[in-house]
Amino acid sequence: MRNPPPRPDTTQLFTPAPLPVATLNPRERLACLRLIRSENVGPVAFRELVNHCGSAEAALAALPELTRRGGGRRAIRICPESSAEAELEAAHKVGATPVFTIEPGYPPLLAQVDVPPPLVYVRGDVDLLARPAVAIVGSRDCSAAGQKLARILAADLGAEGFVIASGLARGIDGAAHEAALPTGTIAVLAGGLDIIYPPEHAGLQRRISETGCLLTEQPPGFEPRAKDFPRRNRIISGVSYGVIIIEAARRSGTLVTARMAGEQGREVFAVPGHPLDPRAEGTNALLKDGATLVTCAADVLSALTHVSGRQHTELREADTPRQFHAPIQPPPLPGGDDRQRIVSALGPAPIDIDALQRATGLPIRSVNVILMELDLAGRIERHGGQLVSLRPSPPE
């Protein structure tokens, strides 16, 4: 049987253009926040707007026209300056620093995921975000042995120069944070930095804010809901080179973190457990599916030999500050016929942008601009992994 012909390399063609990195002044920072908090501006739309318009200020000015071109039936709601100023003032009061994807200091690995949060709030030692990290997560209702292993792994990996990331939850997360405090730990929260959750970790959260780093995508005062914890998990894996799973039931939020780590191209590690212990069902299943078996820090270090100081420095070179300005010659806007070709090719089933470009024959830049316009008009839905679908038309 003959081997199939190699597929053409479309990585460079269909990978989203990286956001520019620049030092922001207060006015530009305010514009970024207003853009993020405006109607229908999700992480993808934020990225495309800044790339297309050259700055957040220019994007804010262009929002009404871009929405109209996308078929919006009413004026888009743009976040008022007063609301954005109030959020930034609230952040200042609790010691939270906003960091946008388009400025230096944003976690470099997180910036590389498919759809990074356009804004994160940080408090504490922000330099930890520039160091290589490994996440340790697991069951809230863990065993004493599980907690002990979490502490050993966190301490040993910390001694080797890795920052330990986790979600500040009960059980495994808390044990990993405690052990990593002397060497560096990042706690990713599901709510605002001023919200204590769980309540019994108030002291631990305070100590991490003093010697470690707290990180969240939520504004100050935001109380986490059940759906916010899986969203938090993608950030835990996103800031890390690998995720270690210690005790996870067959259906658990911990396995969500493992799945997201795999989707982000991170190494997934799992600690084996007793077959009769329900807390080991998830980790044992991960091992069957190809996760790297871990019983000590050496197993992690062996799998992450590619994580060198040199490579991490190269990753940070994209953070070199430069002047931020709009494109000298912005690309031409697509025509109405092009837009109709995209709408006709879309349907209720998610399709990847690669296939959409091939079906329409339009340049990928035009496809992205049209999708941005349709997104702002609320006519498409983003599914992650470069998948989009057409929303049903609202009744007249």
**Stated pTM of the model:** 0.85
Q: How far apart are the first and last CA of the chain?
A: 56
Question: How far apart are alpha carbons 165 and 240 in whole angstroms?
Answer: 7
320, pLDDT greater than 80:
no
pLDDT per residue over 253-302, tens digit each? 899 999 999 999 999 999 999 888 888 899 999 999 999 999 999 999 99
pLDDT for res 289: 93
pLDDT for res 272: 95
* Arithmetic mean of pLDDT over the chain: 87
Residue 10: pLDDT band with limits 50, 70, 90? very low
What the chain holds in terms of domains, given with CATH numbers, is: 14-94+327-390 (1.10.10.10), 110-317 (3.40.50.450)
**Percentage of the chain surpassing pLDDT 70?**
87
Neighbours of 99 (CB within 10 A): 21
Cβ(174)–Cβ(211) below 8 Å: no
| DSSP letter for each residue of 315-360 | HHGGG--------SSPPPPPPHHHHHHHHHH--SS-EEHHHHHHHH
85, pLDDT greater than 50:
yes
Cβ(294)–Cβ(270) below 8 Å: yes
Strands 380-384 and 387-390: antiparallel
Neighbours of 78 (CB within 10 A): 17
pLDDT for res 135: 98
Residue 252: pLDDT band with limits 50, 70, 90? confident
Edge-to-edge strand list for the sheet holding 292-293: 97-100, 119-124, 213-216, 185-188, 163-166, 133-138, 242-246, 267-270, 292-293
338, pLDDT greater than 60:
yes
326, pLDDT greater than 70:
no
Question: How far apart are alpha carbons 263 and 234 in whole angstroms?
Answer: 10
The enclosing H or E element of 382 equals strand 380-384
Residue 18: pLDDT band with limits 50, 70, 90? low
b/e 102-125 (16+ beta carbons within 10 angstroms → b): bbbbbbbbbbebbbbbbbbbbbbb
Cβ(335)–Cβ(342) below 8 Å: no
